Amino acid sequence: MTLLDAEIHSTVQIEQISLAISRMQAIRLGLGPGAVVEVLQKLPHGPVVVRQNGRSIAIGHELARQMHVSPYGGLA
């Protein structure tokens, strides 16, 4: 599933990011493969807001569509 498919208040781990340009954007935000985030808010056709290490990050719709995630069961 992509970050756009993740449920609000769920914790997910980023598995891969489809496009190289999107991967570079995500890494600049500190959100490369392996990063664990909590989904705080999703706006229709807008950004997805996540929390990582106590900071909130708004991820644009197109970037979120390229981020493949899986549910995370460990401690975030």
At 44-74, the pLDDT tens digits run 999 999 999 999 999 999 999 999 999 998 6
At 19-50, the pLDDT tens digits run 999 999 999 999 999 999 999 999 999 999 99
| Domain 3-71, CATH number (from 3.40.50.10680, 2.30.30.90, 3.30.360.10, 3.40.50.300) | 2.30.30.90
Residues shown for the chain: 76
Q: Please report, for the chain, the start and end positions of each structural domain, with discontinuous segments joined by +.
A: 3-71
Q: Check: pTM over 0.85? Answer yes or no.
A: yes
Q: What is the pLDDT of residue 63?
A: 96
> 66: which 2 tokens?
């390229």
The residues near 64 (Cβ < 8 Å, ≥ 6 apart) are 2, 3, 4, 47, 48
CA-nearest of 23, 31, 75, 21 to 56 is: 31
Q: What is the pLDDT of residue 74?
A: 67
Q: What is the pLDDT of residue 76?
A: 46
